[in-house]
Amino acid sequence: MLRLCCFIGLMCSVKSDPAERCDSITRLSIYSAFVGTGLKVKQLLYTRQNPDCAEMLDSKASRYLNVTRRTTFIIHGYRPTGSPPIWLAELVRLLLAVEDMNIVVVDWNRGATTFVYHHASGKTKKVAEILKERIDQMLKDGASLDSIYMIGVSLGAHISGFVGQMYNGTLGRITGLDPAGPLFNGKPPEDRLDPTDAQFVDVIHSDTDALGFRETLGNIDFYPNGGLDQPGCPKTIFSGLQYFKCDHQRSVYLYLSSLKKNCNITAYPCNSYRDYRNGKCVSCGEGANRTLSCPLLGYYADKWKNYLTQKNPPETKAFFDTSDKEPFCMHHYFVDIITWNENMRKGSITVKLIDQAGNSTESKIDHEPTKFQKYHQVSLLARFDQELEKVAKISLEFSTGTLIGSNCKLKILRMRLRSIAQPEKPHLCRYDLVLTENTETDFQPIPCPRYGDVASGKL
């Protein structure tokens, strides 16, 4: 049998034994969740030589394992219904597309499948001990701890941490995808994932108010949309199971997006989500590293490793917003506004950008009221889900939150739109505008002067 495997820029043909058996992750039923399952761990190997036919690693010599390459362990979490993770096959495929590596899917579905959560969480350290045996054997065969990468989802993130502790933090990297919070929040470092568990630990927190872990756990902790409710996820329990798992799973889909390279999800190191939304954290690095590129979410987050290891402590939090669907990227701009009302105005601004073809993208800057004072510039952080090549029209709408009976006006002396990610992109300006509350005002912007107010921030 001839199998053709196609990767980006790579075509390979592999002859396989007609009798070769393809292993797959365990699939269980609701019945298994009711009665509970004893722990049994399978380790399924995928490589570019067997991308769609897993080899189960056991005591026999492997046909495909090459210990000179990076080895990535993927560890799933709690499986209350016994079904395999729906994202697993795509994660394997995308990882193999970006790098020639060994991928070991750690199947502990027998053990993770139960309606009693603490029965599953109680098995995590035993899973870690089994994985240590595998890594020990790989080290004997010539592998390096530097080349070991663990991606753990929910309970799997803490399993990764336990493995890292057994090697005193010398594993190459651990990525925690919304590490489990219940029964782990408030625990000491030895009982959960911790920044010292690998040479580099990056964590995505997407459900900190329910199933995820609240506090920082890594060298860099990413908080999409503040780590709370994720755009596009159900808001009420009437949506069924998705209401409970959508926010939690979003961390996985954000990581997958980073492998697809449709766009880079950029995050901004900051003390809080509020500071990020208020535009206080749009440059990255400190001191001589002030011009350092901001960290990228997901697979390429380790590009920040060298910078972080110079910090004391070598840890940071990073915040960003996403759209409600793939590729999730948002494009950040500053909207600088100077007003000339005699009295202060307090409210929110909605900004819409339109290109010549009629495509539009909108940003509501309404997380908290903005104070507009006479001749005082406010710089509002606008986040758009599209990057328009050329903006032909801009629409502004001002609101104080009063829906009817208000004719409040905001008199704008100057408005300026500037890209944060592409500072070289021409700034767009408009002068002498009057916004009537709850009414869209659109206009054609003009290029800002190249000198003067662009250079100094003044008129």
Q: How far is CA 97 from the centre of its chain?
A: 19
Q: Is the pLDDT of residue 17 over 60?
A: no
Residues 6+ positions from 455 with CB-CB distance below 8 Å? none
Q: Which residue has the higher pLDDT, 121 or 389?
A: 121
CB distance 190 to 168 below 8 Å = no
Please give the Cα distance from 65 to 81 (Å, whole number).
32
**What does the block give as tokens for 342?**
């005699």
**What average pLDDT does this structure show over 254-275?**
94
Task: List helix spans (H) across 172-294.
Answer: 241-260, 273-277
Identify the band that residue 137 occupies on the pLDDT scale cut at 50, 70 and 90: very high
Which amino acid, residue 208?
A: T
Q: Which residue has the higher pLDDT, 94 or 293?
A: 94
Please give the Cα distance from 304 to 197 (Å, whole number).
17
Whole-number pLDDT of residue 124: 98
pLDDT in tens, 349-368: 999 999 999 999 999 999 99
**Which residue in this structure is represented by tokens 């925690």?**
176
Q: Is the pLDDT of residue 431 over 90?
A: yes
Whole-number pLDDT of residue 12: 43
pLDDT in tens, 407-419: 789 999 999 999 9
**What does the block give as tokens for 441?**
């005002």
Identify the band that residue 65 occupies on the pLDDT scale cut at 50, 70 and 90: very high
Q: Is the pLDDT of residue 456 over 50?
A: no
Whole-number pLDDT of residue 206: 98
The length of the chain in residues reads 459
Counts for the chain of helices (H) and strands (E), in that order: 10, 21
Neighbouring C-beta atoms of residue 258, cutoff 10 Å: 22
Q: Is the pLDDT of residue 404 over 80?
A: no
**What does the block give as tokens for 47?**
């490589």
Closest CA to 397 of 361, 364, 444, 369: 364
Whole-number pLDDT of residue 409: 93
Please give the Cα distance from 77 to 343 (Å, whole number).
56
pLDDT averaged over every residue in the chain: 91
Q: Is the pLDDT of residue 145 over 90?
A: yes
Alpha-carbon distances of 228 from 192, 212, 246, rounded to whole Å: 21, 9, 11
CB distance 218 to 297 below 8 Å = no
Please give the Cα distance from 353 to 393 (Å, whole number).
6
Give the max Cα distance, the chain: 84
Q: Is the pLDDT of residue 458 over 80?
A: no
Please give the Cα distance from 167 to 189 (Å, whole number).
15
**What does the block give as tokens for 329?**
């990227």
Domains within the chain, CATH numbers bracketed: 30-320 (3.40.50.1820), 331-455 (2.60.60.20)
**What average pLDDT does this structure show over 344-351?**
95
Q: Is the pLDDT of residue 377 over 60?
A: yes
What's the alpha-carbon Rg for the chain, to the nearest Å?
A: 25
CB distance 72 to 97 below 8 Å = no
The answer to which of 195-204, 269-278, 449-458 has the lowest mean pLDDT is 449-458
Whole-number pLDDT of residue 57: 95
Strand 220-224 and strand 2-7: the pairing is unpaired
pLDDT in tens, 279-291: 999 888 665 455 5
Q: Which long-range contacts (CB under 8 A, 24 or more apart) does 13-20 make?
A: 14/49, 14/50, 16/50, 16/53, 20/53
Please give the Cα distance from 114 to 292 (Å, whole number).
46
At CA 187, angle to CA 186 and CA 192, rounded to 5? 125
194 is in an annotated binding site: yes
Strands (E), 21-81: 40-46, 55-56, 71-75
Active site residues: 154, 178, 248
Residues 6+ positions from 363 with CB-CB distance below 8 Å? 333, 350, 351, 352, 382, 383, 384
**Which residue in this structure is represented by tokens 């007609």?**
18
Partners of residue 266 on adjacent β-strands: 296
Strand 316-320 and strand 220-224: the pairing is parallel
Whole-number pLDDT of residue 4: 34
Task: List helix spans (H) across 76-233.
Answer: 88-98, 109-112, 117-121, 124-140, 155-166
Closest CA to 349 of 329, 330, 363: 363
**What average pLDDT does this structure show over 336-361?**
95
Whole-number pLDDT of residue 289: 56
